[in-house]
Amino acid sequence: MTILDDFVCLNEYGLYCKYADFYIDPVLPVKRALISHAHADHAIAGNGIIFATDATLAFMKLRYGKNVAKEQNTISFDNIIQIADVKITYIPAGHLLGSAQILMEYKGVKYLYTGDYKLQKDATCEPIKLVSADVLITESTFADPQILHPDPIAEIKKIIEIKSNILLGAYSLGKSQRLIKLINDYAPNKKVLVHFRILPINHIYERAGFILGNYQVYSRKLMKNQEEFVYIVPPFTFDSYIKAIGVKRLFASGWKALQVNKEDTLFISDHVDWNDILETIKQVKPKQIWTLHGNGMHLKKYFGENILVKLLNHAK
């Protein structure tokens, strides 16, 4: 069994597998695409044929309507499909509802593309499943020894002591639903309000059996009262409310740069941190590590001569 250095490679359309003529999470429309999850930087409109989980397709239809793709194919977790000579299995990634790692087997060699993933527990999506592979193609968003994510439960409990209403910025898909559930479970003194654009996403979660807890749609009349409301809004709305009065502004993210005040931070991330990437590598036991979506230099330095680390996003 020989690991093919060019099994997947980056070009202007995205990550391409020439051995079965498909792309993974392309950045421009292509003939055939495997979609790992529904965030817009991984799931664009206008492809010819796409393969994705049922939840991912539901989110894409909500966002893109009839422009999702000419042909849409649902892949269930752990079921094997075959494109040309490549066997493909979707495996839960734990990033958000329907998110998948993509395991590809070709001539006896297993290549595991993680997409975005996390190891932290999350009651609003399928838990990650780690499997062995010869090549781990991992995101490296937070692949830095200096970045260690705190416990999300401890983070959300910090808002219990904030007695004013809170304006909480969060991405509409995935992060907002996780926050609603966390607040209901661990900060029950708070009353959750959601922006109207988040509501249809919540409904997809609930139809899939993921109950988020109590929330109601925002109204200006409600927010005039100081009743410990937490109003969850998407980034564009959060930025437009920069001069809002009578609220504490917070933004939920793993990025330090997105924290809007030093006194009240909310470090809740849906990506693996340094320690969790190392734990993933320990469990997957790859012979090679290929990195994407971030800087893999720290991993390359950490493993040295022990494991080959290739930076796909730096390859020409």
Pairing of strands 135-139, 288-292: parallel
Residue 74 CA to residue 314 CA, distance in Å, equals 32
Kindly list the distances between the CA atom of residue 237 and the CA atoms of 232, 249, 255, 263, in Å, as whole numbers in the listed order: 10, 12, 19, 22
Q: What is the pLDDT of residue 250?
A: 96
Please state the length of the chain: 316
Residue 281 CA to residue 139 CA, distance in Å, equals 12
Compute the average pLDDT of residues 210-216.
97
Average pLDDT, the chain: 95
As given in the structure block, the two tokens for residue 234 are: 């998407």
Residue 152 CA to residue 150 CA, distance in Å, equals 6
Q: Give percent of the chain with pLDDT exceeding 70.
A: 99
Q: What is the pLDDT of residue 241?
A: 80
Q: Is 3 left (phi over 0), alpha (psi -120 to 50) or beta?
A: beta
Question: Which helix H or strand E contains 155, and what residues bound it?
Answer: helix 152-157
Identify whether the C-beta of residue 291 lies closer than 8 Å to the C-beta of residue 301: no
Q: Give percent of the chain with pLDDT exceeding 90.
A: 90
Domains and CATH numbers, the chain: 9-145+271-314 (3.60.15.10), 152-258 (3.40.50.12650)
Q: What is the pLDDT of residue 167?
A: 95
Residues 72-95 have pLDDT tens digits of: 999 999 999 999 999 999 999 999
Helix axes of 199-207 and 54-64: crossing angle, nearest 10 degrees = 160
Query: How many other C-beta atoms can be found within 10 angstroms of the C-beta atom of residue 281?
Result: 19
Q: What is the pLDDT of residue 245?
A: 82
Maximum Cα–Cα distance across the chain? 66
Residue 153 CA to residue 241 CA, distance in Å, equals 27
Residue 278 CA to residue 302 CA, distance in Å, equals 10
Strand order in the sheet with 247-251: 216-217, 191-194, 229-233, 165-169, 247-251
Band of pLDDT at residue 134, cut at 50, 70 and 90 = very high
Residue 280 CA to residue 132 CA, distance in Å, equals 10
The span from the first CA to the last CA of the chain, in angstroms, equals: 25
Identify whether the C-beta of residue 47 lies closer than 8 Å to the C-beta of residue 69: yes
Residue 315 CA to residue 197 CA, distance in Å, equals 38
Torsion over CA: 56, 62, 66, 68 (sign)? negative
Phi, psi of 38 (to 5 degrees): -95, 5
Residues 146-184 have pLDDT tens digits of: 999 999 999 999 999 999 999 999 999 999 999 999 999
Residues 267-302 have pLDDT tens digits of: 999 999 999 999 999 999 999 999 998 889 999 999
Identify whether the C-beta of residue 81 lies closer than 8 Å to the C-beta of residue 75: yes
Band of pLDDT at residue 314, cut at 50, 70 and 90 = low
Whole-prediction pTM: 0.95
Band of pLDDT at residue 261, cut at 50, 70 and 90 = confident
Residue type, 138: T
Is residue 21 classed as helix, strand or coil in its secondary structure?
A: coil
Residue 164 CA to residue 141 CA, distance in Å, equals 33
Pairing of strands 80-83, 86-92: antiparallel
